[in-house]
Amino acid sequence: MNKETEMNRDDVIVIGGGPAGTTAAALLADQGWNVRVLEKCKMPRYHIGESLMPYCWFTLERLGVLPQIEAEGFTQKLSVNFVSPDGSQSRPFYFFQHSDHPSSYTWQVTRSRFDQILWDNAAAKGATLQDDTRVTGLVRNPDTNAVTGVTIDDGHGGHRNLHARMVVDCSGRDAIAAAKEGWRTRDPVLNKISIWTYWKGAKRDPGLDAGSTTVAYLPGKGWFWYIPLQDDVVSVGVVAERDYLFKPGETRDPAEIITREIGNNAWIQDHLAEGEQFGEYWVTGEYSYRSRYCADDGLLLVGDAFAFLDPVFSSGVFLALKSGEMAADAIDNALRANDVSAARFDDYGKQLCDHIEVMRRIVYAFYDEEFNFGKLIRAHPDIRGRLTDCLIGDVDNDFEELFQRIAEFADLPDELDYGHQGRRPRQPAPALA
């Protein structure tokens, strides 16, 4: 690296200004590191992923943004509620019945506003933030293959390289590093499609349930989410197997598919009857994946850029915040030790995979034909607390007993054997005899 490049080098470049990126950036800038965030969209930008888990509170507290979030007027979420296709409801899982702590309620957020709060916070902590700036590739040292920066689109048809001691990939489901390196590996089972849109003026339940997330079942283990947002808006989405939503020989129009499925759940039908749909219909597929590696020399993968899990338990933003926080701590240590080799991030990868595995097992149970929460709680009423731990994001707990009980009703997956470690340097070719 020549002298000029070295002088223009940041300590850290973060790709992506979502919750993972701005969390890592704020915490690293707060430690005095020189951090640059590159975001392809103009902020604020639309994003799905509106229902938070209560344990987001701890990272939001560390970031110092709870006052701004309280002031924003987001809907308060006190529980999760499950509804059968005939409209009958299970007893809601109220978080405050489980723990008497400020983290025992959370929010349904408009992501453009939530993400902007985190973005402004990273700027206030001293990070340099560039929106409207797309990263098109990683820069590697030709001799060592270590990542030493990124290439950006300069907006005039050309490209420019930016250099840093450490690159943090927080590019969400674009997963720029995993996609380019061929590391993105789909979950062997979880592969759903989702279609979603918004309603205005739809029904809200009274009292404590006004801001609940409702998961409303469809035949064949598909489901609706019903997420009451601020300004009288409700986010409504359907998640199911591709063949269920896009039935051979039937309509492929997302609006018609959602309308058809509304007729398959009495609670959803009743709640939407008095509202009016507005805006786009969104569709996404290729649901759950994990990267083969969590790091390379000079590179760390965080949030959805590392792994994405089916959103049935609203774990995405929680895992993005949590991994952003874990990444900041690991990178701070690595920079201080002047060692950003991939192996330094094995503990980060192992801990993050352990958290993801807790949520992944419960997602598998959810989709198992033989399983439902009512059945589990009736058979083992004492397990309700542990189950709620899972649903609030208290993933550091010991869940062995919970999963033993769940295994009486559902096939649970083996742990995935990849993602826990950083990539090891390529072995030199063996010498010819």
Ligand X SMILES: Cc1cc2nc3c(=O)[nH]c(=O)nc-3n(C[C@H](O)[C@H](O)[C@H](O)COP(=O)(O)OP(=O)(O)OC[C@H]3O[C@@H](n4cnc5c(N)ncnc54)[C@H](O)[C@@H]3O)c2cc1C
Residues 51-70 that bind ligand X (CB under 6 A): 51-52
307 contacts 291 by C-beta, under 8 angstroms:
yes
Position among 12, 13, 40, 257 found at the interface with ligand X (CB under 6 A) = 40
Residue 274, helix vs strand vs coil: coil
118 contacts 89 by C-beta, under 8 angstroms:
no
Task: Give me the sheet containing 276-284, strands edge to edge.
Answer: 93-94, 79-83, 213-217, 223-228, 233-240, 193-200, 276-284
- Conformational region of residue 157, where left means phi above 0, alpha means psi within -120 to 50, and beta covers everything else: left
Tally of CA atoms within 13 A in the half-sphere of 111 that contains its CB: 15
- To ligand X, the closest distance from the beta carbon of 388 in angstroms equals 17
**Is residue 77 at the binding interface for ligand X, with CB under 6 A as the rule?**
no
Of 173 and 380, which CB lies nearer to ligand X in the complex structure? 173
Rounded CA gap, 320 and 314, in Å? Answer: 11
Of 161 and 404, which CB lies nearer to ligand X in the complex structure? 161
Residues in the interface with ligand X (CB under 6 A) total 37
Position among 47, 62, 292, 380 found at the interface with ligand X (CB under 6 A) = 47
- To ligand X, the closest distance from the beta carbon of 236 in angstroms equals 11
150 contacts: CB under 8 Å, gap ≥ 6: 13, 15, 38, 135, 137, 138, 139, 161, 162, 164, 167
**Is residue 49 at the binding interface for ligand X, with CB under 6 A as the rule?**
yes
- To ligand X, the closest distance from the beta carbon of 286 in angstroms equals 10
Position among 194, 214, 288, 421 found at the interface with ligand X (CB under 6 A) = 194
- To ligand X, the closest distance from the beta carbon of 302 in angstroms equals 7
Residue 371, helix vs strand vs coil: coil
H/E element, 325: helix 316-336
44 contacts: CB under 8 Å, gap ≥ 6: 112, 113, 115, 116, 119
**Is residue 174 at the binding interface for ligand X, with CB under 6 A as the rule?**
yes
Q: Which stretch binds ligand X (CB under 6 A): 49-57, 59-67, 201-209, 349-357?
A: 49-57
Of 70 and 286, which CB lies nearer to ligand X in the complex structure? 286
Of 14 and 387, which CB lies nearer to ligand X in the complex structure? 14
Residues 106-165 that bind ligand X (CB under 6 A): 134-135
CA 175 to mean position of chain CA atoms: 12
- To ligand X, the closest distance from the beta carbon of 418 in angstroms equals 19
Residue closest to 54 by CA, chosen among 268, 356, 417, 315: 315
Residues 324-363 that bind ligand X (CB under 6 A): none
Q: Which stretch binds ligand X (CB under 6 A): 267-275, 303-311, 386-394, 410-418?
A: 303-311
- To ligand X, the closest distance from the beta carbon of 400 in angstroms equals 25
Rounded CA gap, 362 and 397, in Å? Answer: 14
Triad 398, 400, 403: Cα angle to 5°: 125
**Is residue 419 at the binding interface for ligand X, with CB under 6 A as the rule?**
no
**Is residue 212 at the binding interface for ligand X, with CB under 6 A as the rule?**
no
Kindly write out the interface string for residues 14-33 of this chain, putting x where it contacts ligand X by CB under 6 A and - elsewhere: -xxxxxxx------------
- To ligand X, the closest distance from the beta carbon of 37 in angstroms equals 9
Buried b (16+ CB within 10 A) or exposed e, 176-201: bbbbebebbeebeebebbbbbbbbee
- Return the amino acid letter for 106: T
Residues 222-251 that bind ligand X (CB under 6 A): 237
Residues near ligand X (CB under 6 A) are 15-21, 38-41, 47-52, 134-135, 170-174, 176, 194, 237, 284, 303-305, 311, 314, 316-318, 320
